[in-house]
Structure 1
Amino acid sequence: MTAREQVEILDGGAALALTGAAGRLRFHAVWLRDNAWDAATRAPGNGQRLITLGEIPADCRITHAALSGGALMLQFAHETAPIAYDLAWLNENAYDRPAGHSPGWTAPWIETWDAGLMAAVPTGDFRALQSDPAALRAWLFAMRRYGFGKITHGPVRDGALFDVAALFGYVRETNYGRHFEVRTEVNPTNLAYTGLGLQAHTDNPYRDPVPTLQILYCLESSAAGGENMVVDGFRAAERLRAENPRGFDLLARYCARFEYAGSDGICLRSRRPMIELAPDGEMIGIRFNNRSAAAITDVPYADMADYYAAYRRLGELIDDPAGEVSFRLDPGESFVVDNTRVLHARKAYSGTGTRWFQGCYADKDGLLSTLAAMEQMKGAAE
């Protein structure tokens, strides 16, 4: 505790003010009691709450507050035992801060990018990722930062993509199966199975929720062309917002519709905005897939022309070579893409030679959980 730190009970105990290096931060009594970390409130080990909000009085009041040895000691009117709060935790979780965000802001651990990232594609060696926690942590960190990552020196065998998923999580099974084959086919059920080039897109926007990660693994690649491309959808949305704020708002405010019914017994539909914002304006998702777009019917007549102009412009920004990062996958190489942010594409390839890829879906929460646990372990070791 420093000489500057002080605590003041406010509003008859309904709140308090904590003054320190972070400035003056206010906390409500009910929030403090709900977020206590004493043994009666949180389970040892997993930290889950042992009480419900209904067990805390609606008029929760603080009767005494004192600072002692880096902790804030509070006494609540409805309880007899004081509760200690770590000052560093309170500063980290303080909510008494100016909003200061305009719609479309991104989390501080996200870095949007353009074609300049071509010289520094985030890449991990599969052998190191399996054996070296530091290498895996660095690759997962890059995945969270950029939304995609490449992996080299993997085994060249059927099903090797499951080993990639096992680095951080689990496979998400869909109507395509636990995994899907990407080869040229006659009368394919999906354009991904042809040699045609594909516009940058997010996968499966017709699902709710969408698969949040896609893994694509190369087993054979002797056909000419077929380079993989990725585009940062968040950067494209930022560019749209900068030049056309109204267009950005329209794509974020109104839902688009997506549909897939290419197989017997399958009719998948969703209704979500192309640019998805959290209630506080944080940009949390992009859905863009012209092949799977259904008729847009949720936009009022008065806004439809401007909506389509913004939709067209977003597509132009996504197609802009200045935003593309491309790379070729050789046998044993793969890449993982955040399907809620980064669009992926493929250049056309010839009918000669062979091209065999396998793909599957996974969930981002597994990747982020693995990274968070590794970062906590690293912090505890330090």
Structure 2
Amino acid sequence: MPTLSVDPSGTYLSLETATGTQRFHAIWLRDNAQDAETRAPGNGQRLIALRDIPADTRIATAQINPDGVVQVRFAPEDKTVDYDLAWLEAHSYDRAAPSTQGWLAQEIEPWDAGLMGNVPCGDFAALAEGGQALRDWLGQIVRYGFAKLKNAPVEPGGLFKVVDLFGFVRETNYGRHFEVRTEVNPTNLAFTGLGLQAHTDNPYRDPVPTLQVLYCLESSAAGGENMVVDGFAAALRLREEDPEGFALLATHCAKFEYAGEAGVCLTSRRPMIELAPDGELIGIRFNNRSCATITDVPFDKMEAYYAAYRRLGEIIDDTAMEVTFRLEPGEAFVVDNTRVLHARKGYSGEGTRWLQGCYADKDGLRSAYHAMMRDARVEAAE
């Protein structure tokens, strides 16, 4: 049976449940009140600013009602607010701060070549219907950072129908989409069949496009398999091998630049391994072709920085880290460009390969997924 007590100062309460004791500050509770005077019933947005809450807010009384609702009366407002017990437990912040640099959110699952036999994939027709099929496919992208799609229309512009499943195209100086055409025996070296090292796209942008879609229209050439590498798994492997090298790539900025066309000079200054202030691993930028001159590393650390940079590249190149698959016409894949690196193998023989690509942003994908998860929970509770 849950119990609670209020600190004599009234600045916080302690809630004891089967999972342990959790403390909640008075100002936090008041700011997160769900009543109609504090939050708009329709969209949940706050109707008041923090300045509207007395700075000396404290808990006057608190109790757990028989229905499991935690009822709190605040002074000096003399305002009573009800809190759902499960909501409080789900939003508890009374826990030790993470001690590890590079920890991952619970919904993220790192992977390596072992995922080869279970590449996440969805059928376009089923996804277009929405429902559980789409929810599960979006969830796989959230968890693994990429997913394939099959049986889509073999038509130019079909990739926009993929983006329509979850969000919006992000237009860049390359346009709403770009062409990836390759001929094994080209008349122009621009249409090369050479392989590409695994990389994240557009690291010179700030912010980078957070999703990329590659959509196959022709694939008659031998070879040219797509390859993906989990940048988070690569970074964590570097951390295990060389914690100091990991820290160097996470705490010092690299520079990236693209000035390959008239009127365009894109630059960014960001670390190759990006951590949140509390140490969560949230991003990877790795693209040797677009890396500019690195000048933000002190002289006495530059040599070690380059050693860590080299080792991260070796880990990314390790076949034990890669998942490969071949895209056939009407197939596509979506990749989280802040996490998963992508590449292609080289070609041999004769034939052509035509893909179309575009960018989107994962806030739309995550929004679609979390909204569907919320609706599923509501439906299950009814």
Instruction: Calculate the TM-score normalised by the size of structure 2.
Output: 0.96
Secondary structure in 2 matching 1:208: coil
Decide which of 333, 356, 364 is 2:331's aligned counterpart.
Answer: 333
Residues 78-107 of structure 1 show CA distances to partners (whole Å, capped at 9, x for unaligned) of 323311011111111010111244001101
Distance in 2, matches of 1:60 and 1:236, equals: 47
1:366 matched to which residue of 2?
Answer: 364
1:257 maps to: 255
Structural RMSD (CA) = 1.2
Equivalent in the alignment of 1:60: 57
Q: Please, which of 274, 277, 288 is the counterpart of residue 275 of structure 2? A: 277
Give, as a single letter, the amino acid of the residue that structure 2 aligns with 1:55: D
The 3-state SS of whatever aligns with 2:73 is: strand
2:63 is paired with a residue whose SS is strand
Matched, 1:316 2:314: yes
C-alpha separation between the residues in 1 aligned to 2:78 and 2:25? 19
AA aligned to 2:56 is: D
Per-residue Cα deviation, 1:3-45 (whole angstroms, up to 9, x for no partner):
xx22211151111111112211111111110001001011012
The percent of aligned pairs where both chains have the same amino acid is 66
Aligned pairs for 1:150-189 (under 5 A) are 150-184=148-182, 186=188, 188=190
Aligned to 1:197: 195
Runs of 5+ consecutive residues of structure 2 not aligned to the other structure: none
Asked if structure 2 preserves the Cα contact closer than 8 Å seen for 1:195 and 1:351, the reply is no
* Runs of 4+ residues over 3 Å off in structure 1: 184-188
The CA distance in 1 between the partners of 2:32 and 2:76, in whole Å, is 16
CA offset digits 1:337-374 (Å, max 9, x no partner): 00000000011124732211000000001111111011
2:3 is aligned with 1:6: yes
Aligned equivalents of 2:269 and 2:92: distance in 1?
Answer: 35
Aligned to 1:115: 113
Shift of 1:195: 2.0
* Matches of 1:113 and 1:84, distance apart in 2: 43
Runs of at least 5 residues in structure 1 that lack an aligned partner in the other structure: none
CA distance in 2, matches of 1:58, 1:106: 35
Name the CA distance, whole Å, in 2 between partners of 1:326 and 1:38: 51
Question: 2: CA distance between counterparts of 1:41 and 1:158?
Answer: 49
Asked if the contact 2:98–2:278 (Cα under 8 Å) also holds between the matched residues in 1, the reply is: no
State the distance in 1 between where 2:362 and 2:99 align.
25
Q: CA deviation at 1:132?
A: 4.3
Give the whole-Å Cα distance in 1 for the aligned partners of 2:192 and 2:259. Answer: 18
* Corresponding position: 1:85 with 2:76: no
Q: Does 1:34 align with 2:16?
A: no
Residues in 2 aligned to 1:268 and 1:348: alpha-carbon distance in whole angstroms: 28
So what's the TM-score if we normalise by structure 1?
0.96
1:206 corresponding residue in structure 2: 204
Aligned counterpart, 1:46: 43
